[in-house]
Chains A and B, each alone.
Chain A
């Protein structure tokens, strides 16, 4: 019995030794090196306590703590990323990353280095850029944003013991700032080299901000930056003219297509159907007709008109069907079905129109035209009916058109 107790005790002692080692896997590193150390989602930022990056921070006693920790583990003191009242800072600089470098505004607040939490909205953002203590806790202007776009993450974690030397020259305070309480231990860390802050790299900015800046500019060289504004239909007249001029002078067909699509999307976003039709017609006639979506949409738009546009419906539906292999799955089924439907209805419109003409004017020519369009409708309806049957879709309308044009059910049911 004693042996049994001894064996159990030995086993428990061994487990106590082994389990913590086994538990300390790679997962513990992800907590220590978070991808988004800052409260607003950025991987690095400058707070009242200095620069916060994905590396380790240190508490008041110099013990390492994860950089996304809001309180010290041992002393429960607030860390540099304590405040949750921080939102994403707006990017208000020009598109393309060329930003002014307001050096004066980047001077750190002499009071800011204190790591005491600031319960005012956006303390993180204000502390980074506010020139004086009176503005703490207040949102700041573009200079603040420019600091946010600074690639802080590329720098080593700033040395808390030498905050002045680890900061860019433009951010150095004019007078010695009090040392952050949480930072003295980091004196053993290598001193980070100052990075010239006058070379900001544009970070991905919110879409709306890009749209605003793109809409405000008349530059149309970068089509990607114009896309959000084009989708909203908010390209300016000057930008539209710029794009038209580029389209006229561009030699590459692929670039022409890209420019044209920006203009088309802009007209669509504005809800200007007449302009959209004009641009799509030009695109399909002169630039590119290989996009089945565009051919289909144009055909659909034309189908809302009368018999005068029915030939266009059939034409562009045929072009869309030529490239139907670009669709797959349910998209393929629904689009092909819709295109056969559009063709049949267009043929029917032509037939109705020709019949009406023949009714009022009995000539051989009119009769021949009516017979031609009737045969066309019959064939289109039969194609539609066959596809609907093959793809297990609704055959009711297709059958109605087919019987109407054929005059007999035998042709359609066979």
Chain B
């Protein structure tokens, strides 16, 4: 009898657990941390799913962004579930955009992204010589 009661109690407790409900409804959280080549967080970086209209800014302090669900322009939701393949575009002004493909795991979904700076090639630009204001060439 006591064994039966304990089983029933466990079943009730298990089904009413908030943790259980959350994992099922909101998907698996995925965290992206964006840094530059010096391992400093890029405060101006944004993360975007290719099907999304909005860009998500990272945390300006640590360069991180975390979500478990995305809202697509057609009103549907994209929940992150274990085993799904996730595509994300990470960009920042002055940095080369990275497109990553990531397979979501059950937990510990942290992706570290390093954005290289766009190289300025100033030396390639030729400087013209400024001519004098001549009406016609001097003989």
Contacts and interface: CB of A to CB of B under 8 A. Distances in A.
A107 interface: no
A258 B133 contact: yes
B133 A348 contact: no
Given A224-B138, A300-B125, A403 B97 contact: yes
B128 interface: yes
A403 B91 contact: yes
Given A297-B127, A345-B120, A261 B132 contact: yes
Contacts of A300: 125, 127
Interface string A245-278: 0000000001001101110110010000000000
Interface size class of A (residues with CB under 8 A): 35 or more
B89 A404 contact: no
B67 interface: no
Interface string A193-214: 0000000000000000000000
B96 interface: yes
Contact of A356 (B44, B130, B132, B134): B44
A10 interface: no
A377 B138 CA distance: 45
A36 interface: no
B118 interface: yes
Interface stretch (A122-130, A135-143, A170-178, A405-413): A405-413
B122 interface: yes
Nearest to B43: A359
A338 interface: yes
B23 to A, nearest CB: 31
A341 interface: yes
Interface string B41-58: 001101010100001000
A325 to B, nearest CB: 16
A334 B43 CA distance: 35
Interface residues of B, number: 33
Given A400-B97, A404-B96, A341 B125 contact: yes
Contacts of B25: none
A355 B128 CA distance: 34
A356 B43 CA distance: 8
A294 interface: yes
B44 A355 contact: yes
Contact of B91 (A293, A341, A407): A407
B132 A374 contact: no
A268 B118 contact: no
B43 A407 contact: no
Given A223-B132, A265-B130, A300-B127, A404 B44 contact: no
B121 interface: yes
Given A374-B93, A404-B92, A254 B133 contact: yes
Contacts of A264: 130
Nearest to A230: B132
Interface of A: 223-224, 227, 230, 254, 257-258, 260-262, 264-265, 268, 291, 293-294, 296-297, 300, 303-304, 334-335, 338, 341-342, 345, 348, 351-352, 355-356, 359-360, 374, 377, 397, 400-401, 403-405, 407-410
17 contacts: A224-B138, A265-B130, A268-B130, A293-B130, A294-B130, A303-B122, A338-B125, A345-B120, A348-B93, A355-B92, A359-B43, A359-B44, A377-B93, A400-B96, A400-B97, A404-B97, A410-B50
